[in-house]
């Protein structure tokens, strides 16, 4: 009998390795990637697992037999298994956590017969519609039919209409006019499988969109030509100013890719952007596309998965997790707004989408195109070094001018007697816009009816004494609260820095600003877009549609309003407080600030009227604010890259964050130190002096306690990432490390070290 290597479907580091089982002959041919039921442990409990390799022999004696094949669906392809191994190694997750990225958790099976006739259920809580497919007993459909008696016409018809992706009972009935009894007979014969999922519907299917081709301008044409000429799998960085027509370039590259019989993955940083891109893609290609994002329900997710897997879609659009779409013939990966930090997962597995894309490129030989008006320091650095290929769109389409940016120093507003959060210039601008029936976007970096407390005389921000984060004012309790550690305090009556009494909770949340604006402009229609107001399914689409149709004057919101949108009638953009991202203790704070201002400014003046941007700030001299006034990306890059180089921050190094959390303050510090010591001794034993130098001391996290858990961490700033990954992986299996009680967090190049 042949031997299958099987990962047990349990999230447990102690069994995070494949186990050998015999494949009973009647289950042959069994494929790599299949899901099986196996007896596990001393009690031989039936449990499910994933076959990752098939061999002729095993180095172990007395193997157990596989009990049953759950299905040959959903089967992972060999490349996906390869990716899972790579994820485990690169992001220090469990193998099964990586597998779960590739299979929607809602993909639930029912009624799997095990050897002794008992039923093995894989959690089927959401049964509504029955689905059927061939059981996987044979490879050829003829073999199934051979099992039937000659007069079993209905059964034969059913088998003929089924394949190895599920079809709903309605579809099967429509085609065969069969009864449930006939289906049951086939299930009993082991020829077909039945499973259930909740009712699904594709919200975009029936709509008619139209997005005709734009005649390419010279820059766009050059970019498309460079792509067509590329013979090797290539990574491109498309650096195009806001409104330069990046999407048009993407659509042309997709067309090329599809012409060559390959599929495209199109990633956007946030769900709010999907509907605009869906309309453009469907409007151009006139076909259904796969859509993956977090607002899909379980059933929709499964449906998408099925359709992509069975090659019904050659375009898949989605947020971060769409990088795990089960597309077997990827030809092109588009990462739009590639600088956005939503592309980095801050939950296990803590992957970086661009890095995953590069691994996919190695396997599939596909092209990658990263697009942005404000590329990440990392991507631009590699483009300058010519590791990746730089394409540039330096002008807006149709010679539309870049918007005029005015920087307002809010300190002067106060001197002039204006105590509100909106500068006089911004008030005037909004008023004029409402009168002219033109639209305004206002961007504010905080949500909720709360704000941080700061001095309007000197700009001093009240921060938590335990943490390097600003305290948040809460209207209801009239106190300041630290959102990380829960520390509470009263609002000081005088500024601790300059002694002024102009210290107030005057920064304002989106909700509060909405109320203020409504008071000031009673006739204006205002839409708000932030995480709070966008919880309902379809909320994004509604707001965006309304604003596009000109039914509102002002769109007010958090980060969500800053990127990607192409509203033609927006002529004014206001940034309420540009410094809010600067005050974060993070080496990326300046980069983030420059990106946000440039991006939101880019929403202005995209039609035939000139756009204007008003940026309110207390630090008008800061280079990330000053340089955004002249849309000077390269100037900003030069300044920022020299700082990164001096500090040896990425892209000159990689940062490995190793953190520990525990309810007990002593335990967590000891665990962190213990890990650090073990790591150090491995490095010293290996005489890896270069690596020792890159290791920093354990420290208390700046946000000392979150949710009652204390936090310690240390970082490694390294130019030997792969070597370190090996060492950390091997270390995680050592008994001393397995014994550690605290929760361990390993994060490679985290968005922030907090």
Please select the residue that binds Zn ion; options are 50, 162, 444, 467, rule is CB under 5 A.
467
By beta-carbon proximity to ligand ADP, the closer residue of 298 and 390 is 390
Q: What are phi and psi of 48, to 5 degrees?
A: -100, 155
Among candidates 688, 685, 691, which has minimal Cα distance to 656?
Answer: 691
Q: Which of residues 497-526 bind Zn ion (CB under 5 A)?
A: 497-498, 500
Q: Which of residues 379-408 bind ligand ADP (CB under 6 A)?
A: 397-398
Whether the CB-CB separation of 314 and 240 falls below 8 Å is answered with no
The answer to the question of residue 242 lying near ligand ADP (CB under 6 A) is yes
Instruction: Answer yes or no whether residue 45 interacts with ligand ADP by CB under 6 A.
Output: no
CA distances from 240 to 17, 245, 496 (A): 46, 8, 45
Segment (H or E) for 700: strand 699-706
Binding mask 558-597 for ligand ADP (x = CB under 6 A): --------x-------------------------------
* Complex with ligand ADP: residue 567 or 660, whichever CB lies closer: 567
- The answer to whether 247 contacts ligand ADP (rule: CB under 6 A) is yes
Residue 216 binds to ligand ADP (criterion: CB under 6 A): yes
Which listed residue (16, 97, 248, 438) binds ligand ADP by CB under 6 A? Answer: 248
Q: How far is the CB of 24 from Zn ion (least distance, A)?
A: 59
245 in contact with ligand ADP (CB under 6 A): yes
> For the purposes of burial, counting CB atoms within 10 Å of the CB of 435, is it exposed (0-12), middle (13-18) or buried (19 or more)?
exposed
Q: Which long-range contacts (CB under 8 A, 24 or more apart) does 153-160 make?
A: 154/178, 154/179, 154/182, 155/182, 155/185, 155/186, 158/132, 158/182, 158/183, 158/186, 158/192, 159/134, 159/186, 159/191, 159/192
Among 34, 106, 155, 244, binds ligand ADP (CB under 6 A): 244
The least CB distance from residue 242 to ligand ADP, in Å, is 5
Part in contact with ligand ADP (CB under 6 A); list of ranges 122-130, 212-220, 456-464, 721-729: 212-220
Query: 390 - beta bridge partners?
Result: 237
The residue (of 184 and 497) whose beta carbon lies closer to Zn ion is: 497
**Applying CB under 5 A, which of residues 178, 289, 482, 740 lies at the interface with Zn ion?**
482
Considering the complex, state which of residue 252 and residue 670 has its C-beta at the smaller distance from ligand ADP. 252
Is 235 near ligand ADP (CB under 6 A)?
no
**Helices of type H across 230-372:** 246-259, 274-285, 298-309, 353-364
Q: Which stretch binds ligand ADP (CB under 6 A): 147-155, 236-244, 471-479, 627-635?
A: 236-244
Sheet with 612-617: list strands edge to edge.
404-409, 612-617, 570-575, 439-443, 554-557, 526-529
CA 69, CA 72: separation in Å to the nearest integer? 7
Q: Which of ligand ADP, Zn ion, none has residue 240 at its interface (CB below 5 to 8 Å by kind)?
A: ligand ADP
Contacts of 325 (CB under 8 A, 6+ apart): 265, 290, 292, 308, 316, 318
Alpha helices in 656-702 (DSSP H): 665-685, 689-693
For residue 317 the two structure tokens come to 């659009």
Task: Compare residues 221 and 699 and give the one whose CB is closer to ligand ADP.
Answer: 221
Q: Return phi, psi of residue 610, to 5°.
A: -65, 140
Residue whose Cβ sits closest to ligand ADP: 245
Q: Which of 193, 374 has the CB closer to ligand ADP?
A: 374
3 state SS of 644: helix
Residue with tokens 């597998």: 99
When the beta carbons of 421 and 455 are compared against Zn ion, the nearer one is 455
Q: Which residues bind ligand ADP (CB under 6 A)?
A: 214-217, 220, 240, 242-248, 397-398, 566
Residue numbers of the site for Zn ion (CB under 5 A)? 455, 457-458, 460, 464, 466-467, 482, 484-485, 487, 495, 497-498, 500
């Amino acid at each position: 009998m042949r031997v299958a290597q099987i990962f047990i479907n349990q999230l447990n580091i102690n069994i995070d390795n494949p186990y050998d089982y015999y494949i009973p002959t009647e289950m042959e041919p069994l494929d790599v990637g299949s899901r099986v039921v196996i007896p596990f442990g001393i009690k031989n409990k039936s449990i499910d697992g994933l076959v990752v390799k098939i061999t002729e022999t095993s180095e172990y004696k007395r193997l157990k037999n596989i009990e049953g094949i759950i299905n040959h669906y959903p089967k992972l392809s060999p490349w996906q298994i390869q990716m899972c191994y790579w994820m485990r190694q690169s992001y220090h997750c469990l193998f099964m956590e990586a597998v779960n990225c590739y299979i929607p958790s809602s993909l639930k099976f029912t009624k799997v017969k095990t050897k002794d006739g008992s039923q093995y259920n894989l959690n089927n809580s959401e049964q509504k519609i029955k689905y059927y497919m061939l059981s996987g007993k044979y490879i050829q459909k003829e073999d199934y039919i051979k099992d039937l008696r000659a007069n079993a016409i209905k059964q034969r018809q059913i088998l003929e209409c089924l394949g190895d992706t599920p079809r709903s009972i309605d579809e099967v009935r429509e085609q065969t006019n069969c009864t449930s009894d006939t289906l049951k007979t086939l299930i009993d014969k082991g020829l077909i499988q039945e499973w259930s999922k909740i009712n699904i519907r594709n919200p975009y299917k029936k709509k008619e969109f139209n997005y005709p081709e734009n005649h390419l301008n010279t820059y766009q044409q050059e970019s498309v030509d460079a792509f067509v000429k590329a013979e090797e799998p290539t990574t491109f960085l498309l650096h195009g100013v806001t409104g330069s027509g990046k999407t048009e370039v993407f659509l042309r590259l997709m067309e090329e890719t599809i012409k060559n019989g390959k599929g495209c993955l199109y990633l956007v940083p946030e769900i709010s952007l999907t509907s605009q891109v869906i309309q453009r893609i469907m409007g151009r290609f006139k076909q259904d596309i796969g859509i993956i994002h977090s607002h899909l329900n379980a059933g929709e997710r499964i449906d998408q998965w099925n359709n992509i897997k069975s090659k019904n879609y050659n375009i898949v659009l989605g947020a971060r997790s769409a990088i795990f779409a089960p597309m077997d013939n990827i030809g092109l990966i588009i990462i739009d707004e590639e600088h956005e930090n939503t592309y980095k997962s801050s939950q296990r597995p803590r992957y970086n989408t661009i890095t995953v894309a590069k691994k996919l490129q190695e396997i599939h030989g596909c092209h990658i195109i990263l697009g942005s008006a404000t590329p990440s320091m990392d991507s631009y650095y590699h483009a300058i070094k010519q590791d990746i290929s730089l394409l540039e769109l330096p002008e807006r389409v149709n010679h539309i001018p870049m918007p005029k940016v005015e920087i307002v120093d809010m300190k002067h507003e106060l001197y002039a007697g204006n105590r509100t959060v909106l500068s006089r210039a911004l008030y005037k601008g909004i008023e004029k816009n409402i009168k002219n029936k033109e639209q305004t976007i206002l961007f504010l970096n905080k949500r909720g009816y709360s704000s941080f407390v700061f001095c309007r005389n000197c700009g001093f921000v009240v921060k938590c004494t335990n943490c390097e984060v600003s305290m948040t004012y809460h209207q209801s309790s009239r106190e300041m609260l630290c959102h990380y550690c829960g520390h509470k305090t009263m609002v000081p009556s005088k500024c601790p820095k300059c002694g002024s009494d102009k210290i107030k909770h005057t920064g304002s949340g989106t909700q509060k600003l909405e109320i203020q604006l409504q008071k000031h402009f009673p006739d204006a229609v205002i839409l708000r877009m932030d995480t709070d107001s966008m919880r309902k399914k379809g909320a994004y689409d509604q707001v965006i549609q309304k604003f596009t149709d000109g039914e509102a004057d002002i769109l007010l919101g958090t980060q969500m309003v800053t990127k990607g949108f192409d509203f033609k009638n927006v002529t004014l953009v206001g940034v309420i407080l540009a410094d809010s991202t600067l005050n974060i203790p993070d080496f990326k704070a300046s980069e983030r600030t420059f990106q946000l201002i440039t991006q939101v400014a880019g929403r202005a003046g995209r039609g035939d009227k000139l756009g204007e941007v008003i940026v309110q700030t207390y630090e008008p001299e800061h280079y990330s604010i000053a340089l955004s006034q002249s849309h000077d990306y390269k100037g900003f890059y030069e300044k920022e890259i020299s700082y990164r180089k001096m500090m040896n921050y990425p892209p000159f190094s990689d940062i490995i964050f190793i953190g520990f959390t525990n309810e007990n303050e002593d335990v967590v510090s000891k665990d962190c130190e213990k890990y650090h010591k073990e790591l150090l001794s491995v490095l010293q034993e290996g005489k890896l002096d270069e690596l020792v130098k890159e290791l920093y001391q354990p420290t208390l996290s700046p946000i000392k306690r979150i949710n009652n858990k204390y936090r310690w961490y240390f970082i490694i700033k390294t130019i030997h990432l792969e070597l370190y990954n090996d060492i950390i992986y091997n270390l995680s299996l050592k008994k001393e490390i397995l014994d550690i009680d605290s929760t361990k967090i390993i994060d490679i190049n985290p968005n922030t070290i907090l």
